[in-house]
């Protein structure tokens, strides 16, 4: 395997007695769009600041492109950062901001001008050379920060919640832009966010962090469909959790749930006490399963909510409440679903779409962030 862009080995950061980062090991390959995802205080920004060189490691090792950089000051590291508040220099024009890093690298004036033009064009701000940051909108400032950091052509670009201050629409737009810029320049991106949707939509790989540790890392699909524990499942999207006991009976395995019902389990379910997870969009609701071999529970519809592009149906079963998300196909107008309220129905899903998750950390996620 080639030399990774970033490698953390047992990286630990302690502030007094509190552990900000606890033996984190990460390997970020070149060209990845790597996302550090987690609630506030999970250590994701600490990790970024360690890589940027703004705070020193307590123990462990940090390598950038194979070189150990534990004690290298930030101005000598081959990484650049897009700060959360952009940190544009208010006394410099857009052009001077982007040129700053090049001037510090003592690039010739001709080469500097070419690069400034190149990177301002990359972010679509060709016409803004002489503006001051105060004369730009939030989205434009964000682009200047991006151009300024990329203009030095770093090995790794660090982004610290760069979209956090933008409104929803602009954020969506910038997500698309960032993905395009990443494809175009091919630089390794390390992106910190608490927004799971942002992480899922842009990242090639995600590390979910909690309490100073990496809980799970993998592709967005991996993490969404096969979360290792309840924390990850809860943090990334909505889930139904069913507590029960897994039983293997020959080739078939099933889970005995509370209330006496049983459902088919995924084939790899280990026998014993388990938590079964199934995503709401995998659950169907109706009079009875259309095909055999589905895991199904019967219950009463207690809530129907129209949420624009979907309708959310909550079914109370003896094993617990099950949430199903139903898209509006032409045949099912939402008014038809409204009639489901208080009806006795079946909720079913394919066992393949369910996953056994570890009980995991039960800590409550800060609601503001979800």
Binding residues with other proteins: total (CB under 8 A) = 32
Interface with other proteins (CB under 8 A), residue from 28, 43, 46, 100: 100
Report in angstroms how near the CB of residue 136 gets to other proteins at its nearest: 11
Query: Which letter does DSSP use for residue 77 in this model?
Result: S
Rounded Cα distance between 36 and 370, Å, is 15
DSSP 230-281: HHHHHHSS--EEEEEEEEEETTEEEEEEGGG-EEE--TTPPSEEEEEEE-GG
- Compare residues 134 and 251 and give the one whose CB is closer to other proteins: 134
Structural contact between residues 14 and 119, judged by C-beta atoms closer than 8 angstroms: no
Interface with other proteins (CB under 8 A), residue from 16, 17, 71, 90: 90
**Binding flag, residue 105, other proteins (CB under 8 A):** yes
Interface with other proteins (CB under 8 A), residue from 16, 71, 108, 134: 134
Give residue 53's Cα distance to chain centre.
23
Report in angstroms how near the CB of residue 218 gets to other proteins at its nearest: 28
**Binding flag, residue 80, other proteins (CB under 8 A):** yes
Report in angstroms how near the CB of residue 105 gets to other proteins at its nearest: 5
Interface with other proteins (CB under 8 A), residue from 104, 333, 336, 341: 104
**Binding flag, residue 370, other proteins (CB under 8 A):** no
Strands (E), the chain: 6-15, 18-28, 33-37, 59-64, 67-68, 79-82, 156-160, 188-193, 205-210, 213-218, 240-249, 252-257, 262-264, 272-278, 284-286, 295-306, 310-317, 320-327, 344-349, 354-357
Structural contact between residues 112 and 153, judged by C-beta atoms closer than 8 angstroms: no
- Contacting range for other proteins; rule: CB under 8 A; set: 88-96, 121-129, 219-227, 315-323: 88-96
- Contacting range for other proteins; rule: CB under 8 A; set: 146-154, 223-231, 339-347, 360-368: 146-154
- Compare residues 37 and 345 and give the one whose CB is closer to other proteins: 37
- Contacting range for other proteins; rule: CB under 8 A; set: 35-43, 73-81, 223-231, 312-320: 73-81
Cβ-proximal residues to 92 (8 Å cutoff; 6+ apart), any chain: 100, 132, 133
**Binding flag, residue 52, other proteins (CB under 8 A):** yes
Interface with other proteins (CB under 8 A), residue from 101, 212, 220, 360: 101
Cβ-count burial 267-285 (b if 16+ within 10 Å, e if not) = eebeeeebbbbbbbbbbbb
**Binding flag, residue 73, other proteins (CB under 8 A):** yes
- Compare residues 155 and 358 and give the one whose CB is closer to other proteins: 155
244, β-bridge pairs: 257, 274
**Binding flag, residue 229, other proteins (CB under 8 A):** no
Interface with other proteins (CB under 8 A), residue from 41, 139, 164, 286: 164
Q: Roughly how many angstroms between the first and final C-alpha of the chain, as a whole number?
A: 37
- Compare residues 35 and 246 and give the one whose CB is closer to other proteins: 35
Report in angstroms how near the CB of residue 44 gets to other proteins at its nearest: 15
Interface with other proteins (CB under 8 A), residue from 74, 286, 289, 320: 74
Interface with other proteins (CB under 8 A), residue from 85, 137, 173, 184: 85
**For tokens 């079913």, what's the residue?**
348
**Binding flag, residue 89, other proteins (CB under 8 A):** yes
**Binding flag, residue 87, other proteins (CB under 8 A):** yes
Token digits for 346? Answer: 């079946």
Sheet of 188-193: strand order equals 79-82, 156-160, 188-193, 33-37, 205-210, 213-218
Site residues (vs other proteins, CB under 8 A): 52-54, 73-76, 79-81, 83-91, 100-101, 104-105, 133-134, 138, 148-149, 152, 161, 164-165
């Amino acid at each position: 395997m080639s030399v990774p862009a970033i490698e953390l080995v047992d990286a630990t950061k302690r502030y007094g007695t509190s552990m900000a980062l606890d033996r984190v090991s990460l390997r970020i390959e070149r060209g990845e769009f790597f996302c550090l995802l987690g609630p506030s205080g999970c250590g994701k920004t600490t990790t970024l600041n360690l890589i940027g060189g703004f705070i020193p490691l307590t123990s462990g090792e940090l390598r950038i492109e194979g070189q150990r950089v534990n004690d290298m000051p930030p101005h000598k590291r081959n990484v650049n950062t897009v700060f959360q508040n952009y940190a544009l220099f208010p006394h410099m024009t857009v052009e001077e901001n982007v040129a700053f890093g090049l001037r510090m690298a003592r690039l010739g004036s001709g080469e500097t001008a070419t690069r400034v033009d190149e990177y301002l064009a990359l972010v679509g701000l060709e016409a803004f050379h002489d503006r001051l940051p105060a004369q730009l909108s939030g989205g434009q400032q964000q682009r200047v920060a991006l151009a300024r950091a990329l203009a030095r052509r770093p090995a790794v670009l660090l982004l610290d919640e760069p979209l956090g201050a933008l409104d929803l629409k602009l954020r969506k737009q910038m997500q698309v832009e960032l993905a395009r810029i990443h494809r175009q320049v091919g630089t390794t991106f390390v992106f910190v966010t608490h927004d799971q949707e942002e992480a899922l939509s842009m990242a090639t790989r995600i590390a979910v962090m909690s309490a100073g540790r990496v809980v799970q890392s993998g592709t967005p699909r991996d993490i969404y469909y096969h979360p290792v524990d309840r924390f990850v499942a809860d943090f990334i999207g909505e889930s139904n959790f069913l507590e029960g006991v897994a039983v293997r009976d020959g080739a078939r395995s099933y889970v005995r749930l509370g209330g006496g019902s049983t459902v088919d389990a995924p084939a790899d379910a280990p026998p014993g006490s388990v938590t079964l997870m199934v995503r709401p969009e995998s659950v169907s609701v109706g009079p009875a399963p259309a095909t055999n071999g589905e895991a199904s529970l019967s219950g009463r519809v207690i809530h129907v909510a129209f949420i624009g592009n979907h309708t959310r149906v909550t079914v109370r079963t003896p094993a617990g409440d099950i949430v199903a998300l139903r898209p509006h196909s032409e045949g099912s107008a939402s008014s038809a679903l409204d009639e489901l309220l208080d009806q006795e129905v079946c909720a079913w899903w394919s066992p393949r779409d369910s996953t056994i998750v570890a009980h995991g950390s039960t800590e409550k996620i800060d609601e503001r962030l979800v």
